[in-house]
Amino acid sequence: MTPSFGELLPYIEKREFPNEWLMLMHHEKVSIPTIFISISSATPENIITEIKAEINRYAETQKTTFNIIETGSFGILSFEPVIGIQLPGKARIYYAEIYSNEIYSLLEAVFSQWVQHHHLLGQLNFQNTEAWEGVPLLKEQKWFCNESRHITEACGFCEPPSLLSALSWNRWTTFLYALRNIKQDDIISIIRESELKGRSGSGFLTGLKWQQLTKTNSEQSFLICNAYESNPSSFHGRLLMESDPHLVLESIAISAYALRSTKAYLVIPYRFSLAIKQIQNALKQAYDNGLLGFDIQKSGYSLDIHIFIAPGSYIIGEETAIINAIEGKKAMPNEKPPYPIQQGLFGKPTVINNVETLTQVTYIVRYGTAWFKSIGNEQGYGTKLFSVSGINILRGVFELPLGVPLKHIYDLTKNENANVKAIHLGGPIGNIFDQSFLENIIINFSKPSFVYDGSILFIDHSNCIVDYIKNEINFIQNESCGKCLPCREGSKQLYHILEMLTKRPENEQTKETLVRIKEVMMLTELSNTISNTSLCGLGKKFPNLIHDLLLYFKNEVEEHLYERHCEAGVCKNLRTYTIQVEKCTGCHICFNKCPENAIIGVIQHPHFIIQDKCTSCGICYEMCKFSAITFK
Amino acid sequence: MNTIKQILSTFPGYNKGLVIPALQAIQAEYGSINLTVLYEVAEHFNTSSEQIYSILSFYPQFRFKPKGKYHIEICNSPLCKMNHHQEIISYLKNLIGIEPGEISSDALYSLDVGMCTGICKKHIRINNDVYLISSVDEIKSILDKYSKETKL
């Protein structure tokens, strides 16, 4: 039977569990058919409910019983919902993208010992289980990144709502061991020695930051774990919180213990409803079992972890803004110095670290500096979570060592239709590169291929880069906090100029045509002014996008500016519409709908567009039922 | 439904750091924040109503307009913007005549663009339910299902 938490305590302190119990908790040996469903934000509740209903329907018709277990996600969002099926005595077999309409036939196939190869991910074989024939091993799949999978090792296997399952994956054991056997200053010197760099983007040495805190000699200090992931193309912090919440809490506990903080804050965006639910549940379990709270396991150390649900706004990720938000003010950055390390939350020294950095701390404390330094290179040690997305790209979180070539990530994730026009690293404050960079750059803590927050977006040829950057600048314009003028007004002006670039002047004869060119010439000066005069990192860094646009995609900008042509056809206003004479039936609909009266023709005879009058609104293109209207 | 006073009583007024959680609790109870609560909240936390208003208008979570009975959310990530974001918005505009941030005149539907959910297939989110769609025309039948529910 499953032992209780109290019975497990002696094993936790030895950091070794009885093998039988581990097998039970990892479901290596099952007595009845067991189905594993991955729960993540990519699999909404109503879809999971439908899948479960179908499983129950199968169980009723076949008169069998199932054990349904909810696990976290492997991190590959393109595969969700992932279903694992394990029959007694057989290896566990995983399938991807199984929705409610497919689960019934899948169960039928598996129960008749027949392997369906459609959507097959692989099998997980244990001791004493019989492997499926002709099914690849899950851990040998390229996307699984088995060799470098460390901090996400439990994601997809561990059951987030269960403390015992987390314990079997060594969650909390490092903290309790450190509490008894490692001095606080020793942890800080271990981290200093490991040269761990902050994973949120700046790459500041975590150990150095922590040492600075100890020098302040303040009685009270705070730790803030920044899980506010506001870059829309980054989702690895969310994966950690959803699939392995106990690791996140343990990491906060170890770091707070090292810093002698008795109060720690975890900042989660309000949109991450599943992450909030899992973390709150895990926090309650930790308090109930004496892993947090007053006098933890009679060690004399007390810690409270507060969850702050951040009410949105991109800028909360900035360290002084996060302090203002927790203090109940508007999340606007302050001038530095004083740095938060000297005078932070409620005027006390405060350490702010990214959630991923803190989880790395746990692994360094557990396995030691030598292990950590064996991964990566001297620019940055250890592994990094990469959030990869793009069209025809496997979308998900991949844990790879720092110093990995970008080409490797691309090869890992592309499918046969993929192509690359541009690579966007680091979201709105990152950089955009053209495809020539794909072959020769490695992701590292050095320019040009700075790792930033680890988000990588591959943009393909069906997209217009000017339009893409216009959307990014629009995002900044909406999210700019408005405290300093260069960012607030500058982003607005940049957006205005880019919008002009993606449009045709209304009247070519007026001054507007010249203004359009003049404004594009001002782009460099404007973006330099913004980055030189802005207060915080956001305003300093987002004009990089404009620099990259003018540096790597000059041809495309010129094409928009002079030829009024968009290669990808994304900028609707720059399209030139023509009617194909052989396809046009003369139905007269486009003639009636055209707001500019730019179409001429008689019923039942081919129609024509007068290009001088056409404003490229695209109404005729949408209305034509015979696809006779094309654009270039 | 708890009154504003009951909600505020769980947040000690001396701690100004609790202003945001208190406002979040009010919004969770009522769906949106009515401007009449400003004075009550300000009095409770011993601060000015302008201060509270500046917080409310700064953060995107807080909304003054109520949500519709069926709140539709569309993903705003760069990937969705490249793929199908605009297509769904213009379809919904034709169908129910509202743009993001607006509520329909019968207070049945409201539309918002939201943060990435991680479902990168074509989908719409209505309240907490997500519907995967292969083409935008399917949205009509999904919305019909909801509007039938209201009539019954």
The pLDDT tens digits of the residues spanning A172-227 come to 999 999 998 999 999 999 999 999 999 887 788 999 999 999 888 888 999 999 99
The DSSP result for A143-155, as a single string, is: GG-GGG--TTTTT
Contact A45 B128 (CB under 8 A): yes
User: Is B132 an 8 Å CB contact of chain A?
Assistant: yes
Report ipTM for this prediction: 0.91
Contact A326 B17 (CB under 8 A): yes
User: Is A458 an 8 Å CB contact of chain B?
Assistant: no
Given a contact cutoff of 8 angstroms between Cβ atoms, the answer to whether A69 and A36 are in contact is yes
User: Within 10 A of A193 (CB to CB), how many other CB atoms are there?
Assistant: 15
Helix (H) or strand (E) segment spanning residue A224: strand A222-226
Given a contact cutoff of 8 angstroms between Cβ atoms, the answer to whether A427 and A452 are in contact is yes
pLDDT at A44: 84
- CA atoms of A78 and A396, how far apart (whole Å): 7
Which member of A78, A232, A463 has the closest CB to residue B115? A232
Q: What is the DSSP letter of A405?
A: B
Interchain CB contacts (distance < 8 Å): A and B: 102
- CA atoms of A157 and A451, how far apart (whole Å): 28
Question: How are beta strands A422-425 and A455-459 bridged, if at all?
Answer: antiparallel
Tokens of A104: 């019934």
- CA atoms of A595 and A46, how far apart (whole Å): 44
Given a contact cutoff of 8 angstroms between Cβ atoms, the answer to whether A336 and A226 are in contact is no
Give mean pLDDT, residues A484-512.
90
Q: Give the chain B residue whose CA is nearest to the CA of A461.
A: B82
Given a contact cutoff of 8 angstroms between Cβ atoms, the answer to whether A226 and A355 are in contact is yes
Contacts of B20 in chain A (CB under 8 A): 308, 311, 325, 328
Q: Where are the alpha helices (DSSP H) in B31-112?
A: 37-44, 49-58, 78-83, 85-96
Contacts of B116 in chain A (CB under 8 A): 232-233, 235
Q: Give the chain B residue whose CA is nearest to the CA of A76.
A: B118
Give mean pLDDT, residues A260-266.
94
Greatest alpha-carbon span in chain A: 92
pLDDT at A201: 77
Contact B18 A328 (CB under 8 A): yes
Which member of A43, A313, A457 has the closest CB to residue B58? A313
User: Is A389 an 8 Å CB contact of chain B?
Assistant: yes
Whether the link from the prior residue into A337 is cis, omega within 30° of 0, is: yes
Q: Calculate helix-pair angle for A173-181, A355-367, nearest 10 degrees.
A: 60
**pTM of the full predicted structure?**
0.93
pLDDT-derived band at A366 (thresholds 50, 70, 90) equals very high
Contact A311 B114 (CB under 8 A): no
Task: Report the percent of chain A where pLDDT is more than 90.
Answer: 54
Contacts of A311 in chain B (CB under 8 A): 20, 23-24, 59-62
pLDDT at A8: 83
- CA atoms of A531 and A537, how far apart (whole Å): 9
User: Is B79 an 8 Å CB contact of chain A?
Assistant: yes
Low-confidence ranges of chain B (pLDDT < 50): none
Contact B78 A457 (CB under 8 A): yes
The pLDDT mean for chain A works out to 90
Q: What is the DSSP letter of A422?
A: E
pLDDT-derived band at A624 (thresholds 50, 70, 90) equals confident
Q: Give the chain A residue whose CA is nearest to the CA of B55.
A: A330
Residue with tokens 């519907």: B131
Q: Give the chain B residue whose CA is nearest to the CA of A460.
A: B82
Contacts of B23 in chain A (CB under 8 A): 311
Q: Phi and psi at residue B150, in whole multiples of 5°?
A: -70, -40
| Residues in A 409-438 with any Cβ partner in B closer than 8 A | 424
What three-state secondary structure class fits B134?
coil
Nearest to residue A493, comparing CAs of A468, A527, A532?
A527
User: Is A265 an 8 Å CB contact of chain B?
Assistant: no
- CA atoms of A617 and A609, how far apart (whole Å): 13
pLDDT-derived band at A386 (thresholds 50, 70, 90) equals very high
For the cut 70, the answer to whether the pLDDT of residue A1 exceeds it is: no
- CA atoms of A6 and A471, how far apart (whole Å): 54
Contacts of A99 in chain B (CB under 8 A): 132
User: Is A330 an 8 Å CB contact of chain B?
Assistant: yes
Distance from CA of B13 to the nearest CA of A (A): 12
Q: Give the chain A residue whose CA is nearest to the CA of B73.
A: A271
pLDDT-derived band at A240 (thresholds 50, 70, 90) equals very high
Which member of A78, A271, A459 has the closest CB to residue B114? A271
Instruction: Give per-residue pLDDT as tens, A372-385.
Output: 999 988 888 999 99
Contacts of A456 in chain B (CB under 8 A): none
Give mean pLDDT, residues A331-345.
90
The DSSP result for A529-576, as a single string, is: HHHHH-SSHHHHHTTHHHHHHHHH-HHHHHIIIII---TTS-SGGG--
For the cut 90, the answer to whether the pLDDT of residue A572 exceeds it is: no
Q: Give the chain B residue whose CA is nearest to the CA of A324.
A: B17
- CA atoms of A520 and A539, how far apart (whole Å): 20
Instruction: Give the type of residue at A26.
Output: H
What three-state secondary structure class fits A197?
strand
Given a contact cutoff of 8 angstroms between Cβ atoms, the answer to whether A466 and A560 are in contact is yes
Q: Phi and psi at residue A505, in whole multiples of 5°?
A: -60, 140
Contact B21 A309 (CB under 8 A): yes
Which residues are paired to A266 by β-bridges? A225, A307
Torsion of CA A474, A478, A482, A487, to 10 degrees: -20
